[in-house]
């Protein structure tokens, strides 16, 4: 799927909103992104995740792992397309952990999948779990890289969409200067 068509899908599903938004950081932006809005639709999830699955299809992978909650849908679908096992790590006492009897074995080849990466914090935490279990990190797949290409996980990585986060201090916001009010979106994941 080409980038233009992909962006159209995010716009159609309101995953990507354009306007004038107040971010939790206090900065203003002309874009707001909520990945879950596009993943509501399994056919879009299938199409988007196929970009990640195709990228890694010739690599040795035993298991796909995601950080909960946002990454679960992505990891599950990539694992389904690659016909591999899927597990997830979830927060307990603020740290991501393997629960529910999930485990990684020494030497197991692992692909990490996430929905949106901004600083990469959750993905780095999952990578720590992979390393603690002496498993082998093969790569990282993500739907959207919002780090402007700055996050580097040190292994092959692919994102289906790269989006530059453009934000302004309230005092310097061009939309404010035009007199439109800033809207606070309903999620903290900005």
Instruction: Report the interface residues with Zn ion, using CB under 5 A.
Output: 28, 173, 175-176, 182
Closest distance of CB 35 from Zn ion, Å? 23
Whole-number minimum distance, CB 188 to Zn ion, in Å?
Answer: 19
β-strand pairing of 16-22 with 136-145: unpaired
Distance, in Å, from the CA atom of 85 to the CA atom of 110, rounded to the nearest integer, reads: 10
DSSP state of 182: P
Q: Which is nearer to Zn ion, 11 or 169 (CB)?
A: 169
Task: Report d(CA 175, CA 63) in Å as an integer.
Answer: 46
Measured from the CB atom, the residue of 156 and 185 that comes closer to Zn ion is: 185
Do 81 and 49 form a contact (C-beta atoms < 8 A)?
yes
Residue showing the smallest CB distance to Zn ion in the complex: 173
Residue position matching structure tokens 């298991």: 63
Of 1 and 165, the one with the shorter C-beta distance to Zn ion is 165
Q: Would you say 121 or 174 has its CB closer to Zn ion?
A: 174
Q: How far is the CB of 32 from Zn ion (least distance, A)?
A: 12
Ramachandran quadrant class, 19 (left: phi over 0; alpha: psi -120 to 50; beta: rest): left
- Residue showing tokens 């800033």: 182
């Amino acid at each position: 799927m080409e980038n233009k068509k992909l962006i159209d899908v995010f716009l159609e599903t309101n995953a990507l909103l354009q306007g004038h938004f107040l971010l939790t950081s206090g900065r203003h932006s002309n874009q707001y992104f909520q990945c879950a809005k596009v993943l509501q639709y399994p056919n879009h999830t299938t199409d988007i995740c196929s970009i990640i699955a195709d990228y890694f299809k010739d690599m040795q992978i035993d298991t796909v792992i995601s950080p909960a909650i946002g990454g679960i849908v992505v990891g599950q679908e990539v694992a389904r397309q690659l016909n591999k096992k899927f597990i997830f790590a979830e927060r307990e006492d603020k740290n991501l952990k393997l629960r529910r009897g999930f485990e990684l074995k020494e030497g197991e080849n692992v692909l990490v999948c996430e929905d949106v990466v901004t600083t990469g914090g959750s993905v780095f935490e999952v990578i720590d779990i992979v390393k603690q279990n002496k498993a082998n990190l093969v790569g990282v797949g993500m739907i959207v890289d919002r780090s402007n290409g700055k996050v580097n996980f040190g292994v092959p990585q692919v994102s289906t969409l790269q989006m530059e986060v453009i934000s302004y201090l309230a005092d310097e916001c061009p939309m404010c200067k035009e007199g439109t009010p800033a809207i606070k979106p309903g999620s903290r994941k900005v």
